[in-house]
């Protein structure tokens, strides 16, 4: 369907809440992908058709069948003369780095490691607690993939081994003007990984060496993501609005959290959130509870099959407060939950890498795609409805009220704030 005529376009955008229209770019296609079973074939097909450049940034790139398949696609592209750039996190992909380096060196693809841990002294640096948690891929500035899916087999967990059912996770395939923004991020991540560990010392070292500091800084200025408004001539795209929201430790430290809070505050009918690691700040919790009080149906999908016990405890110490406020909580038990998605009022949807916890909201580098489209939101809500139906609803808090509950909540709060202080954050979470 073509873009609405200019006189109708302003009217259509006026229907959105003011905060929802901010940063959205129209004229995009957005396709929901569930798990690596849907993402990896689409990504591989796009890489095999690449003509100019492939940019891929991921937290985990594992040496298994899925990782080997994507690595082979990257090498095929590189051998055809395509410029291939891969950025991985030094902690998340630590075990696979020797294999990755050897594999990509043979075919000439470029590999950059964000905050590498190749020296024992690196483990002692507080900045190492801030990781690259993105999962983004861009091919030829034509198609981008954004979501929460690592380059890792759906039926394998790094800590628990093989699983019978695939983990629940999502990504979105994007086409249109917003793809340029995703490429700008991937390009900047590569530059950041090459610069080193600490931003201030990185810039100082560049200045002393006489290298083009301005060019590097411009990459980060580009990430203010002023949307390119021009559209390819003759291309008719659905007027799907997409906002590419990046969280970093510079100008957009609370960008993703703010998007969530704004959407929940504007909700009128329904809020569905799926997140494995859920320990939000007070402002986030208040927005969720306020929505429930005014009659909005609020459902949270949490992990029932636990991968990290401390993360599960952090979420469960909040159950009493949330349940008492009218929020419905479900624990997903068929498989591991890794999805970081939400749907509000069947029109606003987000798919991305950001959990709703201190690490994602204040430390890690994250990226979410926010889609303002009824069809896309309806499809994601349908997938979430299936997950809710397969889950167990929590009828009462797992931690009984009393001193044990108070002690558990205090311990989690103390630990979260200690972690943030070690990482260099000030103030309380």
CA angle 252–59–280, rounded 5-degree value: 50
Tokens of 189: 């991540």
Distance CA 401, CA 105 (A): 57
H/E element, 300: strand 297-303
Report the SS3 class of residue 358: helix
- Name the active-site residue from 153, 305, 340, 357: 340
- Name the active-site residue from 140, 157, 198, 320: 140
Question: Is 373 a known active-site residue?
Answer: no
- Name the active-site residue from 134, 338, 357, 373: 338
Burial class (CB in 10 A: 0-12, 13-18, 19+), 17: middle
Question: Is 135 a known active-site residue?
Answer: yes
User: What is the C-alpha radius of gyration for the chain, rounded to an integer number of angstroms?
Assistant: 21
Report the SS3 class of residue 243: strand
Residues in the chain, how many?
429
CA 382, 384, 388, 394: dihedral to nearest 10 degrees?
-140
Q: Which candidate, 112, 130, 98, 99, places its Cα nearest to that of 186?
A: 112
Question: Helix crossing, 309-316 with 403-422: angle to 10°?
Answer: 120
Q: How many CB atoms neighbour CB 217 within 10 A?
A: 13
- Name the active-site residue from 153, 272, 345, 373: 345
Question: Helix crossing, 97-107 with 65-79: angle to 10°?
Answer: 20
Question: Is 338 a known active-site residue?
Answer: yes
Question: Is 85 a known active-site residue?
Answer: no
Which residues, other chains included, contact 251 with Cβ-Cβ below 8 Å and sequence gap of 6+? 220, 223, 224
- Name the active-site residue from 62, 85, 134, 135: 135
What DSSP string runs through 121-167? GGGG-GGGGS-B--EEEEETTTEEEEES--BS-TTEETTTEE-SSPP
Question: Is 62 a known active-site residue?
Answer: no
First to last CA, the chain: 45
Which residues, other chains included, contact 59 with Cβ-Cβ below 8 Å and sequence gap of 6+? 88, 89, 92, 93, 131, 132, 133, 134, 135, 150, 353
- List the catalytic residues: 133, 135, 140, 338, 340, 345
């Amino acid at each position: 369907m073509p873009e609405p005529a200019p006189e109708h376009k302003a009217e259509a955008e006026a229907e959105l809440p003011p905060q929802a229209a901010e940063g959205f770019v129209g004229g995009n296609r957005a396709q929901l992908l569930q798990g690596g079973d849907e993402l990896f074939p689409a990504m591989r097909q796009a890489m095999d058709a690449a003509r100019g450049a492939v940019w891929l940034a991921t937290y985990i790139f594992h040496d298994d069948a899925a990782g080997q398949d994507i690595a082979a696609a990257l090498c095929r592209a590189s051998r055809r003369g395509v410029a291939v750039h891969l950025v991985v996190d030094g902690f998340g992909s630590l075990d696979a780095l020797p294999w990755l380096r050897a594999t990509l060196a043979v075919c000439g693809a470029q590999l950059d490691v964000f905050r590498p841990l190749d020296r024992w002294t690196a483990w002692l640096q507080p900045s190492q607690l801030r990781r690259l948690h993105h999962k983004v891929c861009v091919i030829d500035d034509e198609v981008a993939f954004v979501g929460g899916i690592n380059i890792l087999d759906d039926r394998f967990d790094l800590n628990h081994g093989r699983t019978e059912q695939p983990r629940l996770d999502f990504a979105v395939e994007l086409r249109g003007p917003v793809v340029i923004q995703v490429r700008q991020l991937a390009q900047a991540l590569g530059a950041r990984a090459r610069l080193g560990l600490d931003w201030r010392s990185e810039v100082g070292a560049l200045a002393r060496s006489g290298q083009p500091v301005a060019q590097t800084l411009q990459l980060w200025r580009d990430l203010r993501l002023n949307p390119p408004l021009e559209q390819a001539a003759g291309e008719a795209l659905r007027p799907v609005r997409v906002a590419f929201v990046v969280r970093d430790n510079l100008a957009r430290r609370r960008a993703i959290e703010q998007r969530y809070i704004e959407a929940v505050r504007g909700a009128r009918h329904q809020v569905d959130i799926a997140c494995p690691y859920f320990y939000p700040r007070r402002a986030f919790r208040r927005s969720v509870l306020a929505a429930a009080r005014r009659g909005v149906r609020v459902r949270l999908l949490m992990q029932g099959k636990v991968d990290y016990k401390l993360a599960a405890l952090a979420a469960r110490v909040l159950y009493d407060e949330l349940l008492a406020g009218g929020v419905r909580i479900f624990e997903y038990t068929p498989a591991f939950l890794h999805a970081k998605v939400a749907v509000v009022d069947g029109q606003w949807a987000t798919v991305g890498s950001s959990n709703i916890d201190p690490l994602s909201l204040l430390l890690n580098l994250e990226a979410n795609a926010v889609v303002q489209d009824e069809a896309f939101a309806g499809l994601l809500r349908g997938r979430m409805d299936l997950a809710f139906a397969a889950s167990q609803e929590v009828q009462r808090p797992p931690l009984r009220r009393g001193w044990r509950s108070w002690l558990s909540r205090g311990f989690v709060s103390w630990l979260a704030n200690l972690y943030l202080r070690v990482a260099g954050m000030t103030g309380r979470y």
